[in-house]
C-alpha cells in the first residue's frame, strides 16, 4: 500500500513512505478478489461439471439465495411474495429476484434436474430433500440484531 520514495531531507535523501493512490489500491484489491476467490470457484465448477452431476446441493445464505423460506416464517419481516418479485417465473416465488437466484443457476449449470426446494416448504419432503435443500433466509445474520439495524 505504500511505496518507498527518497525525498530530500536536510540535504540528504531519506526513505519516506507515501501512500499509493486510491485507484491503485482498488486495482490491487480487485486483483486479489479475482485471483483468490473467483478463479478457484470457476475452476471447481467447470471441473465438477465435466464429471458426473452432483447428487445434492445444500445452500446457505441471505436474500441473494433465499428461495422462499421466509414465506413460511411468521416472524419474518422480509418476504418476496408480491410483484415485481418473480415476474419472470409467472408470479412471486419467494425469491428476491425476477426469476432464478444464483444457487438455482449454479445447480442448473452443474446438472441438477430441478430447482432446490426451500427447507421450510411443507411440500419439500422425502426424495426431494435428499437431492438438496435451500436454507437461505433474507435478513439472516450472525447477530440477533441483524434485521433490526
CB 101 within 8 A of CB 36: no
Please list the ranges in the chain whose pLDDT falls under 50.
2, 149
Structural domain boundaries in the chain: 1-51, 53-149
Query: By C-alpha distance, which of 90, 67, 84 is closest to 136?
Result: 67
Tell me the C-alpha to C-alpha distance, in Å, between residue 81 and each of 13, 27, 71, 72, 88. Answer: 67, 40, 7, 11, 14
Q: C-alpha grid cell for residue 68?
A: 422462499
Q: Tell me the pLDDT tens digit for each residue of 119-146.
A: 999 988 888 888 889 998 888 777 766 6
DSSP codes, 57-80? EEE--STTT-BSGGGG-TT-S---
pLDDT at 44: 54
pLDDT at 16: 54
Q: C-alpha grid cell for residue 23?
A: 485507484
pLDDT at 74: 84
Amino acid at each position: 500500500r505504500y511505496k518507498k520514495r527518497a525525498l530530500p531531507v536536510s540535504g540528504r535523501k531519506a526513505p519516506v513512505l507515501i501512500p499509493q493512490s486510491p485507484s491503485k489500491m482498488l486495482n490491487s484489491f480487485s486483483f486479489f478478489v479475482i485471483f483468490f476467490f473467483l478463479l478457484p470457484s470457476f475452476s471447481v465448477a467447470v471441473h465438477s461439471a465435466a464429471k458426473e452431476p452432483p447428487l445434492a446441493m445444500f445452500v446457505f445464505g441471505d436474500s441473494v439465495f433465499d428461495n422462499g423460506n421466509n414465506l413460511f416464517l411468521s416472524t419474518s419481516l422480509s418476504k418476496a411474495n408480491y410483484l415485481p418479485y418473480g415476474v419472470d417465473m409467472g408470479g412471486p416465488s419467494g425469491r428476491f429476484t425476477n426469476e432464478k437466484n444464483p444457487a438455482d443457476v449454479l445447480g442448473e449449470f452443474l446438472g441438477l434436474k430441478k430447482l432446490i426446494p426451500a427447507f421450510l416448504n411443507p411440500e419439500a419432503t422425502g426424495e426431494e430433500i435428499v437431492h438438496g435443500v435451500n436454507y437461505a433466509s433474507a435478513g439472516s445474520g450472525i447477530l440477533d440484531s441483524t434485521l433490526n439495524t
